[in-house]
Amino acid sequence: MAIWAIANQKGGVGKSTTGINLGAALARLGLRVLLVDSDPQSNATSGLGIRPDGTPTIYDLLLAAAPQPDAAILPTRQRGLHLIAATPALAGAEVELAGAAAREHRLQRALAGTAARFDQILIDCPPSLGLLTVNALCTADAVLVPVQCEYLALEGLGHLITTIDLVRRNLNPHLTVGAVLLTMFDGRTNLAQQVVDEVRQHFPETLQTVIPRSIRLGEAPSHGRTIFEYAPQSAGAVAYAQAAAELQATAFGARQPPVQAAVGAGASA
């Protein structure tokens, strides 16, 4: 079992899109996957078409208001992929936890009793380095960093790396940057390739798979669908399937038996 925190304090880089579609791709490979929506914007929850009416959410787990963690785990339409949902109420969690004992480990404790049921756990972090993200970093084995292939892509990554180092030294000594995933790549521009080259130069953990800028990837969440449901033959679907297989070959993903990507016969926008 491996736990990944999908983190980058820069917004709009594809964290939730990656959480949804990478989780679905891993599930399609036969793995048991849990996606934890730890972002008050709750894009991973809405992007999967789920409304957690009456069901405990990540907020309840962090505030110890849920009767048991399993009560918060919801199935999705993708077989093998489950979700712990978020709502905008999560925005108040950082304030409510500010004075709590061991506040950085609330998520770790909440998942402790159920984590063994899953092969992979993906935690979708908010675009900040606040207490919610720190909780995810304290829980995770490794960080998956989505990086947008655009100008100033590396801006702020230094702060994320500093935060990861601080968490490693003080709270989670096993935490590491497990993978960097390049997103929103537009092959028509020289700048995009320059960003790819620069990121790979600074981060040898960068996956070879690059997620393209895709209309279909942008449309799918508005329909509450993964890219594999909405446009299974699209370039975005093929890319996330390949990224999932590649992630399984990393030091953390390799804890499970190696698997092959199930991709469509072709690719389109």
Rg of the chain in Å (alpha carbons): 17
Q: CB count, 10 Å around CB of 13?
A: 24
pLDDT at 113: 82
Asked if residues 22 and 127 have their Cβ atoms less than 8 Å apart, the reply is no
Walk along the chain (269 residues) and give the pLDDT tens digit of each residue: 899 999 999 999 999 999 999 999 999 999 999 999 999 999 999 999 999 888 999 999 999 866 678 889 999 999 999 999 999 999 999 899 988 888 999 999 999 888 889 999 999 999 999 999 999 999 999 999 999 998 888 887 888 999 999 999 999 999 999 999 999 999 888 889 999 999 999 999 999 999 999 999 999 999 999 999 999 999 999 999 999 999 988 767 665 443 444 443 334 45
Tokens of 141: 């084995």
Distance CA 261, CA 263 (A): 6
Instruction: Report H helices in the chain.
Output: 15-28, 43-47, 58-62, 93-97, 106-112, 131-139, 157-170, 190-202, 215-219, 227-230, 235-247
- Who's near 104: CB < 8 A, 6+ residues apart? 131, 134, 135, 138, 171
Of the candidates 182, 212, 186, 211, the residue with the CA atom closest to the CA atom of residue 197 = 182
pLDDT at 87: 95
pTM for this prediction: 0.92
The whole-angstrom separation of Cα 137 and Cα 155 is 20
Q: Which residues on neighbouring strands pair with residue 33, listed in sequence order? A: 81, 120
Helix and strand counts by DSSP (H, E) for the chain: 11, 8
Sorted by sequence, the CB contacts under 8 Å of residue 103 that are 6+ apart come out as 97, 131, 135
For 147, which DSSP code?
E
